[in-house]
Structure 1
Amino acid sequence: MAEEFRLRSIAVAAYGPAALFGLAEGAMIPVVALSAIDRGASVSVAALVGAQLGIGSLVMNIPASVLAKRIGERRSMLLAALVTVAGLGICLVDAGDSPRSLLLYGFGVLAIGAAGAVYSLARQSYLAEVVPGHLRARALSTLGGAMRIGLFVGPFAGAGAMQLCGLPGAYLVGLVAIAGAGVLVYRAPDLASTEEHRAAVASVTTGGMLKQNWRVYTTLGTGVLLLSAIRQTRQTVIPLWAAHLGLSPTTSSVVYGIAGVIDVLTFYPAGKVMDHYGRRWVAVPSTLVLGTSFVLMPFTHGAGTLALAAMVMGFGNGIGSGIVMTLGADVSPPVGLPTHLGIWNELADIGSGLGPVLLSAVTALAGLGLGITVSGTVGFAAAAAMWTWIPRTGRPRPAAPARPPG
């Protein structure tokens, strides 16, 4: 079966929904703070409302693994699509400038973040189960790339819709995209399964998984946490340093967009390198390049040099597309992939939360330039962790035989 498998056979079912989920998120994210302010929030409260996306994901990772274990990956993705539609619908309800309206909106954003965690885990588990080990990195890097394409296109689609409908236009784009993703997931086949396999999966608990694999989580998991931290911080440093240089918001957006283009263009070659030569050949260069781009950024003095640093940052992030998912699948035990991925994603989300906090704390104490530089050292620490703890085997064998769609 491994020899006959082709990624294109699952392209629509696996990558179409990922791109559409990304498009919905990309359309929504730029307007979350503005929508909260329209409902009476202060700037600080609006930032807290925006954080509900990450909080929802952080809280839901472990329950998402339990859900995928009980109802299966495909049904979990369908449920995530339904909850996301409900969350977007709640965000469209505008009761005016009132605490009740703001609270309702915050709940909608939280629901979308939680649904995103369910969908993310289920799609990773589905793809890791169905794809043979020799294609795993290409499959998962393409999955990450599809999501990034959606995130890149989403703000432009949302901006076009807002020209016609105002702020609700961004959420309407999200509703259409998620509805399309739900249709594609509904038409995808379930994974083949046996009573014996289902019983074995049901017997796996989060506590048991932690006890069995604590060494992996405290070693390679630390590298994933550090990588996630610098990745999340990169989304903040470009606009912050652009403002520090006195560049206009338009120029800042263009520079950010250039980094996004480089990011999107590099995901598939990275997957091929990982499959042919091993994960370390991508994970270590990705984190080193990310760290270097942070260290270079405080030395930029205008739009041109900032764009160059941003391009280096986009390249470093792009070649690492799918690396967290790939490593998570590589080190999974033979049974209990959803439970393992729930813990793995939790480590990544903790890193995503800590990265911007580190930048904020150092900036408050010593200025933005040093804050960016210190954040860059997180990339170098991640590179050291990846070099030390990624298994040395060139191309990992699958933890269990691939399960075909049934």
Structure 2
Amino acid sequence: MSSHPAPSAPAASPEFSLRKIAVPAFGPSLLFGLGEGAILPIIPLTARDLGASVSMAALIVGLISLGSLLNNIPASLITMRWGERWAIVAAGVWSAIGMALAVMTSHLGLFAAGCVMVGMSQAVYNLARQSYMTEAVPIMYRARALSTLGGVMRIGMFAGPFLSAAAVHAFGLQAAYVIGIVAVLGAAALGASMPDLPPLQLPPGQAAPTAVTLRSTLQDHRRLFLTLGIGVLLVSAVRASRQAVIPLWADHLMLAPAVASLIYGLAGGIDMLVFYPAGKVMDRKGRAWVAVPSMLIMGLAMLAMPLTTGFVSLLIAALAVGFGNGIGSGLIMTLGADHSPRHGRAHFLGVWRLLSDIGASCGPALLSFLAASLSLAAGIASTGLLALAAAAALAIWIPPRRRSPDKEH
């Protein structure tokens, strides 16, 4: 039974530099995020053009998350079978096929199937890139690498809608999907250029481990999944809910849509500025130094949000939410990497990402239920309480730091 981080990456060498692996390691994430960001705002509009009702269009957007949720465990099998590099390539190609199906069909059912395929590819890509970086990056640089990985993906997701907006204005809705296809195929091409990971070397005299299965992974790490895994689920629920909280409360305050978009954009901007420093703190001081403040800041900001009354006060609360979310970039991946075993890592990370996706699906659903049954303010405040619960869970269950601080850089 595993409850503490294992040194699952090779020791650092003085020659290692994140800059040396920047293009093959982070380039695919930027392009994958750009491709998905380009099509996400366009999917409901396309669905409406194909005859979907407003509620059906919203459901089709949710199919991407559903496809990711249902494919986490199959993604682990694909990664174990093909290896991280080819799993990344396959994810890019599969996503491109899904986008092509979505843009070429006039049938709503086939369009929905294309959206599910994009979500499936997301699960494979995210698991494979996390597994690759966990093994390729020395442990003393792990949080910085994974925070940068998450931050670069967010930059792509942020820039994608602006690029597609310009293309749609010039050429129509189909142009957004063309941008998406080009971007994810570019991610696949960069992924193919990544060096293969060396085979695992057993210490002299150590017998080869028994084959790892999904069942044995669940059994060996069940205590971890039921403790820190629940904390990860709560973190994901809060993060997913934040995307709806800001525009919904801005609408409640009767702010103009352009003003609401400005507030949301500024919160997203600060979110993208702090991922690397936060990763550096996690590497030098320990994971809890960032994990707990991230959730505390988001929780307090969301509890304060229903008390805001206009542009300035909402902007301050939204910026605090963005800052709290930004410093937690790569947190879930880092915690998963710390606890993942070298043998059977893909199975472990598949379950880890499944917990995260369950939280991401349940958070907005809970917000919607409370807003409908009580009030929007009650829903937002409840999300803030979830964040405080996540902070408590992380404070209790993240193991204390046992390695000396990183002296380099």
Out of 343, 346, 356, the residue aligned to residue 351 of structure 2 is: 343
Which is worse superposed, 158-167 or 113-122?
158-167
1:313 corresponds to 2:324? no
Report the CA distance between 1:94 and its aligned residue. Answer: 3.8
5 Å-filtered alignment, 1:74-89, equals 74-89=85-100
Out of 44, 59, 70, the residue aligned to residue 81 of structure 2 is: 70
The structure with more helix, counted as a fraction of residues: 1
Measure the CA separation in 2 of the matches of 1:300 and 1:235: 17
Out of 230, 252, 269, the residue aligned to residue 277 of structure 2 is: 269
Measure the CA separation in 1 of the matches of 2:18 and 2:95: 27
Out of 360, 363, 366, the residue aligned to residue 352 of structure 1 is: 360
User: What secondary structure, in the 3-state scheme, does the structure 2 residue paired with 1:189 have?
Assistant: coil
User: What secondary structure, in the 3-state scheme, does the structure 1 residue paired with 2:51 have?
Assistant: coil
Out of 10, 21, 44, the residue aligned to residue 33 of structure 1 is: 44
5 Å-filtered alignment, 1:164-175, equals 164-175=170-181
Measure the CA separation in 2 of the matches of 1:202 and 1:305: 58
Measure the CA separation in 2 of the matches of 1:210 and 1:233: 28
Partner of 2:245: 237
1:139 corresponds to 2:145? yes
Measure the CA separation in 1 of the matches of 2:83 and 2:151: 24
User: What secondary structure, in the 3-state scheme, does the structure 1 residue paired with 2:39 have?
Assistant: helix
Out of 30, 35, 46, the residue aligned to residue 19 of structure 1 is: 30
Out of 191, 195, 202, the residue aligned to residue 189 of structure 1 is: 195
1:294 corresponds to 2:302? yes
Measure the CA separation in 2 of the matches of 1:183 and 1:89: 18
8 Å CA contact 1:282–1:320 kept in 2: the answer is yes
Distance 1:396 1:90, change over 3 A: farther
User: What secondary structure, in the 3-state scheme, does the structure 2 residue paired with 1:51 have?
Assistant: helix
Q: Describe the superposition over 1:64-104 as per-residue Cα deviations: whole angstroms up to 9, x where unpaired.
A: 00110111000000000110110110111142xxxxx1101
Report the CA distance between 1:194 and its aligned residue. Answer: 5.5
Aligned-residue sequence identity (percent) comes to 51
Gaps of 5+ in 2: 1-10
Report the CA distance between 1:139 and its aligned residue. Answer: 0.5
Report the CA distance between 1:334 and its aligned residue. Answer: 3.3
8 Å CA contact 1:24–1:175 kept in 2: the answer is yes
TM-score after normalising by structure 1 = 0.93
8 Å CA contact 1:56–1:111 kept in 2: the answer is yes
Which is worse superposed, 42-51 or 265-274?
42-51
Report the CA distance between 1:148 and its aligned residue. Answer: 0.7
Measure the CA separation in 2 of the matches of 1:298 and 1:250: 20
Q: Describe the superposition over 1:115-139 as per-residue Cα deviations: whole angstroms up to 9, x where unpaired.
A: 0100000000000001111110000
TM-align CA RMSD: 1.7
8 Å CA contact 1:85–1:178 kept in 2: the answer is yes
Q: Describe the superposition over 1:23-69 as per-residue Cα deviations: whole angstroms up to 9, x where unpaired.
A: 11111111111111111111111111011111100110001001101
What residue identity is the alignment partner of 1:63? P
Q: Describe the superposition over 1:248-268 as per-residue Cα deviations: whole angstroms up to 9, x where unpaired.
A: 222111111000100000000
The count of corresponding residues between Structure 1 and Structure 2 is 391
Q: Describe the superposition over 1:292-327 as per-residue Cα deviations: whole angstroms up to 9, x where unpaired.
A: 111111111122221111100000000000000000
What residue identity is the alignment partner of 2:394? M
Gaps of 5+ in 1: 96-100, 398-406
Measure the CA separation in 1 of the matches of 2:270 and 2:117: 31
Partner of 2:133: 127
Q: Describe the superposition over 1:134-177 as per-residue Cα deviations: whole angstroms up to 9, x where unpaired.
A: 11000000000100110111110010111111111211111121
Distance 1:306 1:194, change over 3 A: closer
Out of 63, 67, 70, the residue aligned to residue 59 of structure 1 is: 70
Measure the CA separation in 1 of the matches of 2:281 and 2:336: 17
Measure the CA separation in 1 of the matches of 2:196 and 2:313: 49
User: What secondary structure, in the 3-state scheme, does the structure 1 residue paired with 2:71 have?
Assistant: helix
Measure the CA separation in 2 of the matches of 1:200 and 1:341: 21
Distance 1:362 1:68, change over 3 A: same
Measure the CA separation in 2 of the matches of 1:109 and 1:246: 33
Measure the CA separation in 1 of the matches of 2:163 and 2:403: 39
What residue identity is the alignment partner of 2:120? A
What residue identity is the alignment partner of 1:374? S
